[in-house]
Structure formats: structure tokens, C-alpha cells
Structure 1
Amino acid sequence: MGTTPGFTISAVEYESGLPELRQVRETVFVQEQKVPQEMEWDELDPLCHHFIARDAGGQPIGTGRLTPKRTIGRMAVLADWRGRGVGDALLEALLAKARELGWLEVSLHAQASAIGFYARHGFLPEGERFDEAGIEHQAMRLLPDALNPVETRDAAIAATLGVIALARRELDIYSRELDPGLLDVPEVVAALRRFAIDRGEVRLLVQDPATPQRALSPLIALGQRLSSAFAFRAVEEPVDRAYPSAYIVNDRGGHYFRKLGHRFDGETRLDAPARARQLRSAFEPVWERARPITEYRALQI
């Protein structure tokens, strides 16, 4: 179905593909993660759409499935191939098939360690975490090709991580006071740091620069260490300060927008170029009018 250097992704029928599915899933889930064999294979397997990743020699290295319940599951990649884009390619193939089938919603149970991975593809957490086969999981949901509602702080963090992860070179952030509870959580700060180190540029408009300074926001310290990548400006014009919303938008069509900037609830989509252009266009004149926050550069913490 698709080709990436070093491996391929293709759909496979359950019966003919069962030996390869077993080779990957039993290695990852049964042997590595100690999931009981009787829990790994279920009555849904023969009814699912299965995908397999194979290396250049044709050996299976990853799996994933779409179930009749419109869920994604059994995502597994062999240890030697992790971190090389196999999981991303499998998930993209599964989502492409879901779109082909006309699914308006796709959900999954993510292992807690993989929440960030699924957030990069637009999935948002729902509900509390739970135990499944002795492993902590989180329910997550995506509305393909639609705005996804953000209703909780956890979903806000996931939406922010998704926008950051898919940015090419530019991120614009409009914030009231550097969004405590969102822009100061360790995983978001780490994501911004990785983006900046990878030659990304982050512009932040702040309506109230004094409050995060007093709170020793970690973004200020990060901006000092990576001053060529981060730029902070204060919104001071009355017409601009009346703006009630907040957002983060990237240069690849992704955004997370909150109508009321002091709340987490809002909407996000990672493939909405028209809306992203609109937000970036609105950001630009405010940025030009705003004051560089020199006190952030001088702060020693």
C-alpha cells in the first residue's frame, strides 16, 4: 500500500496473514509485555482489516488492525524497528482505510506510554485511565477530517503536543499568561525544546507577561537557553488586549483554538490549512504591534 525506505505497509487477509500476525503480536504482547495468550487473540480478529509492516527482506516487523467496532488495535512494532517511523506509517495506513470506509470517528485504547504517539496523529484522551491485561491504558478518539472538540486538560495537552509535533519550522502561540497547567507541563516543555533544537522557531504573544515571570514559568527559562528559537512579545494595544481567545498554530495546517483563553475547552485539527492560515494571518499584525519582552531576556533563573 505504501513504501518508506527500509519497510513497506500493506493490507493482509486474516487467514493468509495469520502466521505473520502471530510472529509480531506474540513477540510484542505475549513474550515482551506478558499479555496472556488467550487475551491476545479474540473473536474480532477474523472480522478485522489487518495491516502488516515488512522489512526490505519481506519479514514482518509491525501490525495493526481496524475492528468492526470502528476501533484501532493490536498496534505492535518489533523492538529493533521502534523509533524508525513504522508505527506512524501503520497508523496512517489504518486511518486511510477508515476514511475509505467512511468512518466519521475512530477510537482506541492506548497504552499509557503511547499516548504521546497517538496525540501526534490527532487522537485525544477521553475519561480516566484503566487497566487492561495488567497494563495502564487510556481511551482516545479521533474525528478524521473534522474539528475535534477539546473538553479536558488532558485533551488540551494532547492537542498541544499534536500541533507541536507536526510543525515544520514555525509555531505561533497566542496566550494570556503562558497558560499555566498547559504550556508548563513537562511533556509540552520537552516537545517545544525538541522542536527548537531541530531548528524550529516559536513566537509567543502574551497578554500578561508579569504573571508567568513571577511564577517562574519554565518557558521563560527555555527561551533564555534557546534564545535564537524563542521570541516573546507583550500584547499592549487596547484593541488587541480585548481579544479573549488563545491558540497555538503551526505551519502545516494544525491548530488548537480556545474561544476563551483562560479555559482549556476548544477545538483542534491537525490538517486544516485554511483555518491555520486564518489564525496565522490574525497573529501577524498583533505581533508587529506588540512589545518585545526584554525583561524575559534579562531574567536570571
Structure 2
Amino acid sequence: MGEAHAFRIQSSGYEQGLPDLRRVREAVFVEEQGVPLALEWDELDPDCHHVIARDAAGEPIGTGRLTPARSIGRMAVLPEWRGRGVGEALLAALVEQARTLGWREVSLHAQASAIGFYARAGFLPVGERFQEAGIEHQGMRLLIDALNLVESRAAAIAATLGVVAGARRQLDIYTRELDPGLLDQSAVVDAIRRLAARGECAIRILLQEPAAAQRALAPLIALSQRLPSAIAFRAVEEQVDRAWPSAFIANDRGGHLFRPLGNRWEGETRLDAPGRARHLRGVFEPFWERARPCSEYRALGI
């Protein structure tokens, strides 16, 4: 990171950090998003653990807080610093603080536009969306250093985003027919496209029913035609392999989503379990070696 983009994360007490907290939170929430000033500051603030991101000159550029109710909130980054990893660093510092305190889980209310951001850090949506300060929000939760249960399609999408975002050199996907409702969602397709476009990651997708995905014009097929060096498809043909009921996605950095029944959303996920991810990739390998390349996908015109 160049000096112009350098920043650091600093813990802060409420009274000590109040002037800098105001500079960021009021700029983002009150001025930019229109949250009433009276709603921005609450009785929890004095009892929270606050973190402040500062630029190379020490000026505040981002904030976040951890409340006594074991929730993360008031995550804000000044517009000119977005997309530079500041939010990710703030969130990681707050989760690490929760871990230090011995907390087993943390929750948060994510603005709807930020669900993907929190999903990439392992948070899963819980319950229905709701309005808070006039803005649509989604409750999300992370179990720290533990498997997180996936209980809905929305949670499966979030878990997939987390596993894809964590991949570096390898991403393996085992699926029945490219999971309609999951692997065809725009957020997931965009995440896989960004990963493939980097040119550093081999993405292997193994299917049980390639014809069904082809008939459905699954968007990942078209994406593989544009990026054939990064995305490879194979189809399971051995009967014993076709009888395997599960589905999963696993990366080379310890992230996985495993669903015992591939036609259901329920399963488990964790982004920092290298042993489990390594096991799933070991399951994948012999299936992949016995499968046939999906040459029909290369010829398909969409």
C-alpha cells in the first residue's frame, strides 16, 4: 500500500475519540444518508469499544463500534476512502476484539446495500429485512471460530460469497445442476467473474446434471466461454459418483460451504477451517479425475 493510501486502525475510548467519531459518522450517516442527528448518537456509545481508521496524517477516515450487546455497528468510511480495504480492516478489528473478550458470536444490522460486504467476512443473514432510520436493513450473525449453520437460500448465497471472496489459487464447486437460485444469482456470478478475471485462480465446477444447467442457460456457462482458461466444467458419469447426494464449494484458504443434500439450502459454512476445506477438496479430486469435460458447453452459443 502506497503512502498516499496508507491507514491504520486504532482502538479508542468514547470521550477520547468523540471529536473524530463525530467527523466521520455525521459526515456519512447524517449528511450523506440523511439519518436524523438525534438517532445517530445513543446511550450505548459511552459503553462501546470503538475503533477509528486514520490516514497517514492521523486524520480519521472510518469508524466502527462493538456494543455490550455483542453487536457491531456504526461502520462508516468516508467516501474517498471506500474500496481501499478500510471497512474490511475495521470489521476485522472488531471481530478480533470480540474474540479477545471470549465472545462466541457477534451480530449486526447491515444496510441492504452492504450485505455482500459482511457476507465476505463470514456473516450470514438472519430473519427478514426491516427498516431502521428510514433505510432497509438485514440482521446478520457470525459464530466466531465455529461452524455457522446455513438455514435459508439467503444464507447460502451469503456463504457462497464468503467462500468465493476468500479463494486465491483454487476454487472447487460440486453441484447437481449449477444450483438454480444460488449459482445463478447476480451477486454470486459477479463474484466468480471477478475471481476468474484476476487470472490467478483455477475454478473447477463438477456437475451431476449438465444438460439441465444447459437448458436453463445458466449464466456461469456463458461466463466460462468468456474466461475459458479460468473456469473448467466436468460432468460426473460413474454411477457411484452420481449417487453422491451432497453439494459443496471449497477454496484454498480454508473456506467452505457444505450442504448434505444438494437439492436443499441447509448446511454449514466457515471461512477459516483449513482442515475441513482440505477434506472437501480431497473428496472432490477423485470425482474430478473420473469425470468427463463438458465439451458441449464450449460450443453452446448464448
TM-score class normalised by the smaller sequence:
over 0.9
* Pair 1:32 & 2:9 matched: no
Residues 1:261 and 2:262 are matched in the alignment? yes
Which consecutive aligned stretches of 4+ in structure 1 deviate over 2 angstroms post-superposition?
none
Match of 2:134 in 1: 134
Residue 4 of structure 1: how far off its partner (Å): 11
Structure 2 CA distance for aligned equivalents of residues 146 and 163 of structure 1 = 15
| Aligned residue in 2 for 1:271 | 272
What is the CA–CA distance in structure 2 between the aligned matches of 1:74 and 1:55, rounded to whole Å?
19
Report the secondary structure of 1:128's partner residue.
Answer: coil
In structure 1, what is the equivalent of residue 224 of structure 2?
223
2:286 is matched with 285
1:5 Cα deviation after fit: 5.8
Hey, what's the Cα distance between the residues in 2 that align with 1:239 and 1:182? 25
Q: Counterpart in 2 of 1:167?
A: 167
SS of equivalent to 1:68: coil
Q: CA–CA distance in 2 between the matches of 1:24 and 1:219?
A: 40
Structure 2 Cα separation of the partners of residues 153 and 19 of structure 1: 42
Structure 2 spans left out of the alignment, 5+ residues: none
Q: Which amino acid aligns with 1:97?
A: Q
CA distance in structure 1 between the partners assigned to 2:218 and 2:255 by the alignment:
25
CA deviation profile, 1:163-189 (whole Å, cap 9, x unmatched): 001111211000001101100011111
* Equivalent position SS for 2:296: helix
CA displacement at 1:127 relative to structure 2: 1.0
Q: Distance in 2 between matches of 1:25 and 1:238?
A: 58
Q: Which residue of 1 aligns with 2:158?
A: 158
Please name the residue that 1:108 is paired with: 108
C-alpha displacement at 1:128, in angstroms? 1.0
- 3-state SS of paired residue (1:58): coil
Q: TM-score, normalised by structure 1?
A: 0.98
Kindly report the root-mean-square deviation, in angstroms, between the aligned alpha carbons of the 2 structures: 1.2
Match of 1:183 in 2: 183
Gaps of 5+ in 1: none
Deviation at 1:300, TM superposition (A): 1.1
Deviations 1:136-166 (A, max 9, x none): 1000000010000000000000000000011
**TM-score of the superposed pair, with normalisation by structure 2:** 0.98
- C-alpha deviations, 1:211-258, integer Å up to 9, x for none? 011111111111111111111000111121111000000010000000
1:68 matched residue in structure 2: 68
Query: Would you say how many aligned residue pairs link Structure 1 and Structure 2?
Result: 299
Q: Which amino acid letter does the alignment assign opposite residue 53 of structure 1?
A: A
Structure 1 residue 298 displacement after superposition: 1.0
